[in-house]
């Protein structure tokens, strides 16, 4: 009986600390929006934002390139020669591949 009384006295003396710790455990680990899930979602958000930046840069480059092609007919010829290896009838094409080992 004395153990129960001493335990109850301890609980009464530290009731705010116990309540705060219990609240921290429930919110931090047992809740639907716990700390681990929050960290995982923050990491996923950071990854998605990086992808958005990458695709935005790619979109900007493609838009600039499209505007160049719309204005300059020489740019169309350049793309045809470089990307699709097209040539004029009296030309020869030499393709040099970059060797990453050197």
pLDDT for the residue 102: 61
Domain ranges of the chain: 1-31, 34-102
CB distance 21 to 15 below 8 Å: no
Please state the pTM of the whole predicted model.
0.55
> Under DSSP, is residue 46 helix (H, G, I), strand (E, B) or coil?
helix
pLDDT for the residue 19: 93
Q: Cα–Cα distance between 20 and 24 in angstroms, integer?
A: 6
CB distance 65 to 55 below 8 Å: no
Write out the chain's pLDDT in tens, 102 residues.
Answer: 788 888 888 888 999 999 999 998 888 888 888 888 899 999 999 999 999 999 999 999 999 988 888 888 777 777 777 777 777 788 777 777 877 766
CB distance 58 to 52 below 8 Å: no
């Amino acid at each position: 009986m004395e153990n129960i009384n001493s335990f109850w006295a301890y609980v009464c003396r530290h009731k705010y600390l116990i309540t705060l710790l219990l609240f921290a455990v429930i919110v931090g680990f047992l809740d639907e929006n716990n700390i681990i899930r929050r960290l995982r979602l923050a990491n996923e958000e950071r990854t998605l934002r990086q992808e958005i930046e990458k695709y935005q840069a790619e979109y900007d480059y493609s838009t600039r390139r499209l505007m160049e092609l719309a204005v300059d007919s020489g740019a169309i010829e350049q793309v045809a020669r470089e990307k699709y290896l097209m040539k004029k009838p009296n030309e020869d094409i030499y393709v040099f591949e970059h060797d990453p080992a050197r």
